[in-house]
Amino acid sequence: MLLFSFVAYAQVNVKSENTKFVGIGDSPIFSRIMRLTTLNIQSSDCNLLPSTVDGSFQSCISNVGRFNSNVTCSGWQNVTPTSPDTWSTPIPSATVLNSNMIPSPDGGIFAGAIARYSDMTNPGVPEAFNTSISNLIPGEQYQIKFYQSNMTNFISSNVVGSVRWEVTFGNEIQTSANSLVEMAPKWTEQNLLFTAISETQDLIFKALEGTIIGNYDYLYAVIDGIKVTRKNFDCNNPCNSITGTIVINPTIKIDCKADVIANPYSQTISTEQMTAINLTSTVAGTTFNWTVSQEGTTGAVAGSGNSINQILTNIGIDIGHVTYTITPTLNNCSGTPIIVVISVAPKSYNPSIKIDVAGTCRNAGDCRFSTYCGVNIPVTYLDAPEGSAISLTLYKELSNPPRISLNISRVGTSNVWLLSYIETGPYSSVDFTLYLRDANGNVLSKLDQTISRQPMWESVPPCN
């Protein structure tokens, strides 16, 4: 076995065979035993904008005192019929633009777009531009950073106008903070976080008007220093390096034909049922082994053979999952593993609440007591998951002032509760509901009840 150490910067070529090892470079010794793939490791800059797109807009030739060109000079594309422009300072004196505008912290040239115009029915307003970002990892989060300001000419402190940017990345839309019209415009950094849903997504910037108080028929938003980075990378670190060791295993063969076919690839079973996964290959003599991971279940174990037949038990109230990673082997050559996921449904229940009416209640829905002092009524639940509990909701008492004290308490850790009923005055009645809930608080069953004293017992004296 050969070992090589390496330090990798930015993008490197990675060669691997059957996930047994990782190598760097295009050396013939690697090529004999590895197939070539590409691994994108972000450099210290981390900016994922295409190389043809300039988020700093410096590729546009500066013409001092006027707009330079539309944003296409920096590789961006126009979304609207009228194009956003690129600018350099000083800005010429104009009715609508602020000549006090300064460069952004990114420096040099910046871009701008009309956010509001007197004729908002114009199809070119508000203005927008876009590009496409590739090499994304679905499910990963990406930061979109930029500087923004408001280059609208200042009218007076009694009039308020603001602009912002609407940023669309894939199917997600977010807006930046408002930037006010000011006599001396200020740049602010914006940082928006998106989650990628595909490997390639469109990135769109559209100027929007914000809060307006008074008369602002024209608003102009400016932007600079656009960067798209992966959240988990530190783009301020000037030397993000990766150090590792290449392990070359001479037993791995480039002509490995081992494969595995699972039937089925996924399966849903009830708790305490057996899996039935058959394993075959297109090449005779291939053997199979598997590892397991499980969530909310027991019974899955690693093993080997031509089928997976294991009794799985759901230990919760939600659906559990078992993942089998199955690897084929032929002549000491391990092929590409496959994944089989088994969903294990929890035990089904028919939960109910039972009130012991013997001697205390006329029927389950109308309890009429012959005692004036009070009574404890046994309440139980039937066929419910472990951890279930009964609770009480009192919603109406037909006497004023109230004359009934009604509570419920559990007997130890059993499934028996005692409903305590105590009268504090003459004839009274109360409506209430008993709820049976699982360990997560979900209602499994409920029972509406009424408790009252018989009028014929009105002459029973009060308790001492």
Q: Which CATH number fits domain 352-457: 3.40.50.2300, 2.60.40.3450, 2.60.40.10, 1.40.20.10?
A: 2.60.40.3450
Q: 67-230 has which fold?
A: Jelly Rolls (2.60.120)
- What is the Cα–Cα distance from 326 to 328, expressed in whole angstroms? 7
User: Tens-of-pLDDT digits for all 464 residues of the chain?
Assistant: 444 444 444 333 343 433 333 343 433 334 333 333 333 444 445 788 988 898 998 888 655 445 667 888 888 998 888 888 898 888 877 667 888 889 999 988 999 999 887 665 665 578 999 999 998 999 899 999 999 999 988 877 666 788 999 999 999 999 999 998 888 999 999 999 999 999 999 999 999 988 776 667 788 999 999 999 998 766 555 444 455 555 555 544 556 889 999 999 888 999 999 999 999 999 999 999 999 999 999 999 999 999 999 999 998 878 899 999 999 999 989 999 999 999 999 888 788 888 775 444 444 455 554 444 556 778 888 888 878 888 887 666 656 666 667 788 888 888 888 877 766 665 566 777 888 888 888 888 888 877 765 443 444 444 33
- What is the Cα–Cα distance from 388 to 410, expressed in whole angstroms? 12
Hey, do 67-230 and 261-345 end up sharing a CATH topology, with the first three levels equal?
Answer: no
Residue 152 is given by DSSP the state B
Q: Which two tokens stand for residue 223?
A: 């932007």
| Phi, psi dihedral angles at 294 (to 5 degrees) | -140, 150
Residue 456 is given by DSSP the state G
- What is the Cα–Cα distance from 445 to 440, expressed in whole angstroms? 14
| Residues near 81 by beta carbon (within 8 Å), at least 6 away in sequence | 123, 124
CA distances from 43 to 58, 234, 238, 240, 431 (A): 21, 10, 9, 6, 70
Question: Is 264 in a helix, a strand, or coil?
Answer: coil
Domain boundaries, the chain: 2-44+238-248, 67-230, 261-345, 352-457
- What is the Cα–Cα distance from 56 to 88, expressed in whole angstroms? 12
Q: Which two tokens stand for residue 408?
A: 């419920």
Side-chain-side CA neighbours of residue 271 (13 Å):
16
| Residue 395 exposed, middle or buried by CB count within 10 Å (0-12, 13-18, 19+) | exposed
Q: Which amino acid is present at 70?
A: N
β partners of residue 297: 314
The CATH number assigned to the domain with range 261-345 reads 2.60.40.10
